[in-house]
Amino acid sequence: MMCLLALAGVMAGCTNDGSSELQRPETTIRLTAELQQGSRTVLGDDGLKVLWENQDRLGVFSDKGDANVSFLLSEGAGESVGRFEGALSKGAVPQYVYYPYSADAGTSTATLAVTVDAEQTQNSTTASIGANDFKIGSYDAAQKRFSLRNKLSLLAFTVDDLTGSELFGQPLDRIVLAVDNRDLSGDFTADLTDPEAALTPVSASAESTLSFSDKPVLEKPVSGWLLVNPVVEEGDPMTVTLYAGSKKATLRVRASKRYEAGVRYTMPLDVNELVADGSMTVETLSEELPAPGIKVFRKTHGMIVAEFEQSVDTYETQGRTFNIRLLEGDKVLRSYDKYSFKYGGKNGTIYSYLYNRFAFGGLKAATSYTIRVQAVSTDAARFEDSAWTDISVTTDAAPVLGDKVLLYKDFEDARYGGSSIDNAWAHKVKGTQASIDYTEESVEDALPVSVCHPMGCMEDAFGTKQHASYRAVHWSDYAWSADKADNTGLFPVCGALKFGSASAIGKLTTPTLASLGVDAPANVVLSFNAAPYYEPNLATGKFETAPNQGSGTTVVVTVNGDGTFDDGTQTQTLRNRTPVETGADAKGYMEYTLHTLRVTGATGATTFTIATSLDGTGAVTGSNSCRMWFDDLRIERE
């Protein structure tokens, strides 16, 4: 049969909950209770009257075995009297009822499952407690009605007396009540057959939190309501903590009375008064920095360039300091702490190199790595370091070289120095490199390093400032000449070379074609990537307008010995595209120019020299240097 239940309610503050009525289907039911705004019930404007909402439900048990049957509000939304409708077995008489209904409450009247939320959320204009306002009722045969009673205590907080306090103007996030050794919230069971029985804790907490979803600004009184299990005893030490913006206010008091079910307790939080008498203390919180994002900017078979993304606010207030990790599986391969991406700049916020990019070179092909980053606070009093962010990246497969390729060098094994093309920071070796023996593979993993900006590089691989073992490890692939007349000014960077310096040219001479397998006259194709050396404007970080340095737009290639280029000469002067021509500022990175030259009549004795020259672009007055970026050298038999 269908049962119709009607409910009404009113309750005065600090008084016990009155009786409730639930009669047979033909009669009405009247419920006396105090409820605040909730997902189930709302308070009237006077803060006392019960107003029902659509979708309010009761759980009903009958003498015929009907267990935890849902009765839905059918009339009375927005009013203090509500009519509920549900189905019971024919001839069944309701025995027990509880509010609010939960499908997970179970079917036992002796151990009904109840949850008092450890965090109860409201907004500052309409309280939200109905989902936690637990009541039970039993059938009164003489009166032919149910009598419902509240099983929890209601705490009414009001934050006031704010003008001139440290909390004034701060957004109120939450109020936390803590009472040691008292089960205020959590999971309990209730005995519907014994209205006097206390809730039995299953998994409970000594804290209960009232959160404000709208974060009201503390410029006027703010009220909120919290339901707790009535276990507090008179004299219990209580801690009430307010979290508002960057402030934390802690109040330590003792309970003035024993808490009882169905009673409302006012909790005035008059800030200035409480601070003045020493009951409340206010401190400034350390806020955790937002975790940076990570994305893969570029990757190859031996290199990954990662970009760390920050909010504008974090960038401007905290700068660009990171803890960085590179892992393979669970093993940490590289670990860099407090790396600050700061160089040049204006007013401490705009830096010459605009992007939070970091280059990892010397990686294995087709291998999965994890990059981990954490934003580091530069103001410990205000901010804590962020949480870590991870990203998994698999390097590309190694390039497949055909039978016609005589020489291929992409410098992917170079791990130190920045990646100017990508505008990416990296790390450099500390100390004197001429004293480092690179023979053992594990040596480079253990070298002391520091952060370097995108233009940073190693010492000249063929110069006296670099240990000869570096060439033995990184240039042993072909028979490179160690003569300075052949190779000089070649500074390894992450995944590439920097040619030349401010005053000396960079020059690379290839091994003889005979050492590469050419034993008869042949036509070959020489190719490589090159880009001019530009330093960004120190104030704006831009490359196209008033760069700090600009050179390397020309590169000279010479055939040594037999062979000529297609035009019959043995020398070609080539031009690298400038940042203006490639649109570097809009793209956020530089671009190489691919140079391809055909040589006919080459023999085993033939070599090729690629060199920069003293070359000022005119973009910056007096900017004369001999530098450019170089990568992907290839010689292929035609």
pLDDT score recorded for residue 624:
53
Q: Is the pLDDT of residue 185 over 70?
A: yes
**What ranges do the domains of the chain cover?**
2-284, 288-394, 405-637
Single-letter amino acid, residue 448: P
Q: How confident is the model at residue 80 (pLDDT cuts 50, 70, 90)?
A: low
Instruction: Give the pLDDT mean for 436-442.
Output: 86
Most confident of 268-282, 340-354, 377-391: 268-282
Q: How confident is the model at residue 56 (pLDDT cuts 50, 70, 90)?
A: confident
Q: How confident is the model at residue 151 (pLDDT cuts 50, 70, 90)?
A: very high
pLDDT score recorded for residue 33:
25
| CA angle (440 as vertex; 437, 446 as ends), nearest 5 | 80
pLDDT score recorded for residue 22:
31
pLDDT score recorded for residue 371:
98
Element (H, E) at 584: helix 584-587
Q: Is the pLDDT of residue 44 over 80?
A: no
Instruction: Give the pLDDT mean for 423-440.
Output: 91
C-alpha dist (Å) from residue 244 to 211, 216, 290, 588: 11, 9, 18, 40
Instruction: Give the pLDDT mean for 357-379.
Output: 94
Strand duo 153-160 + 264-270: pairing = parallel
Instruction: Give the pLDDT mean for 346-370.
Output: 82
Q: How confident is the model at residue 317 (pLDDT cuts 50, 70, 90)?
A: low
More confident residue, 118 or 625: 118
pLDDT score recorded for residue 167:
96
pLDDT score recorded for residue 442:
79
Mean predicted lDDT score pLDDT of the chain: 85
Counting residues of the chain whose pLDDT is more than 70, the rounded percentage is: 85
Q: What is the distance between the alpha carbons of residues 33 and 80, in angstroms, rounded to a whole number?
A: 10
Listed as own residue / partner, the contacts of 574-583 with beta carbons closer than 8 Å and 24 or more positions apart are 574/530, 576/530, 576/531, 576/532, 576/552, 576/628, 577/531, 577/532, 578/532, 578/534, 578/550, 578/553, 578/617, 578/619, 579/532, 579/534, 579/543, 579/544, 579/547, 580/544
pLDDT score recorded for residue 82:
64
Strand duo 237-244 + 207-212: pairing = unpaired
pLDDT tens profile 236-271: 999 999 999 889 999 999 999 999 998 889 999 999
CB-based contact 225:242 (threshold 8 Å): no
Element (H, E) at 276: helix 271-276
pLDDT score recorded for residue 521:
95
Instruction: Give the pLDDT mean for 325-333.
Output: 96
pLDDT tens profile 507-531: 999 999 999 999 999 999 999 999 9
Domain 288-394 has CATH 3.40.50.2000: no
More confident residue, 449 or 81: 449
pLDDT score recorded for residue 620:
36
Single-letter amino acid, residue 556: V
DSSP of 132-157, one letter per residue?
Answer: G--EEEEEETTTTEEEEEE-SEEEEE
Instruction: Give the pLDDT mean for 564-584.
Output: 96
The answer to pTM > 0.75 is no
pLDDT score recorded for residue 184:
97
Most confident of 14-18, 91-95, 140-144: 91-95
Q: How confident is the model at residue 81 (pLDDT cuts 50, 70, 90)?
A: low
pLDDT score recorded for residue 240:
97
Q: What is the distance between the alpha carbons of residues 519 and 637, in angstroms, rounded to a whole number?
A: 12
pLDDT score recorded for residue 348:
43
pLDDT score recorded for residue 128:
60
CB-based contact 511:542 (threshold 8 Å): no
Most confident of 87-101, 310-324, 375-389, 596-610: 596-610
Q: How confident is the model at residue 145 (pLDDT cuts 50, 70, 90)?
A: low
Q: What is the distance between the alpha carbons of residues 245 and 287, in angstroms, rounded to a whole number?
A: 9
pLDDT tens profile 371-388: 999 999 887 777 889 999
Q: Which residues of 270-281 are buried (b: 16+ CB within 10 A; e: fewer)?
A: bbbebbeeeebe
pLDDT score recorded for residue 343:
62
User: Which residue do the tokens 């970091």 mark?
Assistant: 358
pLDDT tens profile 112-127: 999 999 999 988 777 6
Instruction: Give the pLDDT mean for 156-180.
Output: 95
pLDDT score recorded for residue 618:
36
Biggest CA–CA distance in the chain, Å, is 120
Instruction: Give the pLDDT mean for 5-28.
Output: 32
